[in-house]
Amino acid sequence: MSNTLPVNLGKRFGDVSLLPENLKNQLNAFKVDELESNILAVLKDDLDGIGNIDEILVSLYKKTNKVEERKSVSSRLYKLTTRKRLEKVAGKKGVYRFV
């Protein structure tokens, strides 16, 4: 057995769509911080599950009265897509929707 760690260590979940939410909530890979939680909330509650980054920024401000940095929101959107919580809309730059 080799002492080297796999490159994809901690990301070998495969299809997680069928996992129960209570299991996902226990996994560090699926934990969301406050900004991520707010992004998911505004997409769901204010934007009917789909929106571009500008709409998300404005909705976040309306929800929290806090101006979020575009770079930070963009980074969190990317993180949420890698976790299969959101997906980018093909052919549309900066547009995200629930999976």
Instruction: Please give the residue range of the domain that contains residue 74.
Output: 32-98
**Axis crossing angle, helix 34-45 with helix 53-64, rounded to the nearest 10:** 110
Separation of alpha carbons 84 and 62, rounded Å: 26
Provide the residue type at 77 as one letter: L
Tell me what pLDDT residue 73 has: 97
Residue 85: name the closest of 96, 70, 71 by CA.
96
Look at the block and give the residue holding tokens 């963009």. Answer: 74
Identify the CATH number of the domain in which residue 53 sits. 1.10.10.10
In this predicted structure, the answer to whether residue 27 has a pLDDT above a threshold of 70 is yes
Tell me what pLDDT residue 57 has: 97
Any domain includes 27:
no
Tell me what pLDDT residue 1 has: 62
- pLDDT tens for each residue of 43-97: 999 999 999 999 999 999 999 999 999 999 999 999 999 888 899 999 999 999 9
Tokens of 23: 């299991």
Predicted structure pTM score: 0.72
Any domain includes 67:
yes
Any domain includes 85:
yes
Any domain includes 7:
no
Number of domains in the chain: 1
Other CB atoms within a 10 A radius of the CB of residue 94 amount to 15
Any domain includes 60:
yes
Helices (H) and strands (E) in the chain, counts: 4, 3
